[in-house]
């Protein structure tokens, strides 16, 4: 299977122009770090940066509330700090899930672009 993929890539490279081949190289498989940093590119990068900062601040609130929970004197204070800490942990989890969904969306779009290039290359080869 790997040889077949390499052969297909070789055929595509031969059919593409130099600029198209460079673009095709950019659409290759990404590691997890590139996928994570890829979320912070594009027209919504400010929103992603804001949510990342919010997740960081919410995690800080979890740590603060956890410390205050152990230093609280009354049960009411303990429950308040516990509730805030749990809410903040859930919020951080939701933000992470949202970022992972964006990473998945970027991955699917990348594969669609690769397919478009493969179709274009096979069409130009058949002419």
* Mean pLDDT (10-residue bins), the chain, 127 residues: 63 66 65 79 89 96 96 95 97 95 88 80 70
Number of domains the chain contains = 1
pLDDT at 32 (0 to 100): 75
CA separation, residue 44 to residues 51, 57, 58, 105 (Å): 11, 20, 21, 13
pLDDT at 75 (0 to 100): 96
pLDDT at 21 (0 to 100): 63
pLDDT at 5 (0 to 100): 63
What's the domain range around 99? 2-126
pLDDT at 53 (0 to 100): 96
Phi, psi torsion values for 74, nearest 5 degrees: -110, 160
pLDDT at 24 (0 to 100): 63
pLDDT at 81 (0 to 100): 96
């Amino acid at each position: 299977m790997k040889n077949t993929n390499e052969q297909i890539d070789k055929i595509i490279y031969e059919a593409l122009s130099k600029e198209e081949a460079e673009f095709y190289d950019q659409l290759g498989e990404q590691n997890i770090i590139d996928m994570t940093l890829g979320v912070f590119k594009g027209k919504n990068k400010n929103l992603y940066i804001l949510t990342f900062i919010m997740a960081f601040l919410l995690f800080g609130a979890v740590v603060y509330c956890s410390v205050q929970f152990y230093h609280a004197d009354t049960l009411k204070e303990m429950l308040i700090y516990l509730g805030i800490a749990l809410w903040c942990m859930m919020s951080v989890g939701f933000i992470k899930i949202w970022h992972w969904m964006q990473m998945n969306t970027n991955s699917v779009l990348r594969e669609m672009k690769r397919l478009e290039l493969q179709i274009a290359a096979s069409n130009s080869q058949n002419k």
